[in-house]
Amino acid sequence: MDDRIKLSVLGFSFNQTQSGAYGLVLAEEDGVRRLMIVVGTPEAQSIAFKLQGSYPPRPLTHDLFRSLLHQFGIILREVEIYKYENGVFFSRMILSQGDKNIQIESRTSDAVGIALRTKSPIFTTEAIMQEQAIVFDENSIQDATTPEDERDHLALDYSLLNQDELETLLKDAIEGEDYELASLLRDELKRKGKK
């Protein structure tokens, strides 16, 4: 298919369109368009952990799914975000086991969370990008020329995480000498302690 667009996961935007929902930002590879997908709190937590390179105290659902795929010799070939209808993105996971290939319908947030863990590519269609993507202007391109640079400008909402998860991330940040992140996590832990 010539109209397939490969996407990478950048992070979360500050803009929340619904209470308890977060904007997951996907970037067009080698392009300036960004696709925002609204995801729920558990999926956002799971994706945030993976983006930070941290591990929760216990496996999350996406980790469990990845382990099951691995144990049964199933490969997630790719994720396809193939349709947008009535405010909802529709996705499927393309899996293979030996010479057998199957497609499984999935919520986009779950498919992305699992794709991150299996290092599987994520695709959408040109039609979806034309209808739903945000195009950055020239100033935005100069400020963030690559998805890696832009990722630094997108916020992970640490209020999503509970105290144990924040403490785990804080420990990882200190061990990795990421003191800026450690400071943010410490502040969030203090806010949670006052509630």
Highest average pLDDT, of 51-60, 74-83, 154-163, comes from 74-83
Kindly report whether the global pTM for this prediction surpasses the value 0.75: no
**Looking at the predicted structure, is the pLDDT value of residue 95 above 50?**
yes
Q: Are 47 and 72 in contact (CB under 8 A)?
A: no
- More confident of the two residues 191 and 148: 191
Sign of CA dihedral 14, 162, 109, 85: negative
What does the pLDDT average to over 63-67?
A: 94
- How many Å apart are CA 37 and CA 34, to the nearest integer? 10
Query: 95 near 74, Cβ under 8 Å?
Result: yes
- Going by pLDDT thresholds of 50, 70 and 90, the confidence category of residue 58 is confident
Top-ranked range on mean pLDDT: pick from 9-13, 73-77, 139-143, 147-151:
73-77
Q: Can you give the pLDDT at residue 141?
A: 40
> What's the mean pLDDT when you consider all of the chain?
81
The maximal CA–CA distance of the chain, rounded, in angstroms, is: 55
The answer on pLDDT for 49 being more than 90 is no
Residue type, 177: E
Q: Which runs of consecutive H residues, i.e. helices, occur in the chain? A: 41-52, 61-71, 108-118, 126-132, 138-143, 147-151, 163-175, 179-194
Strand (E) or helix (H) holding 28: strand 21-28
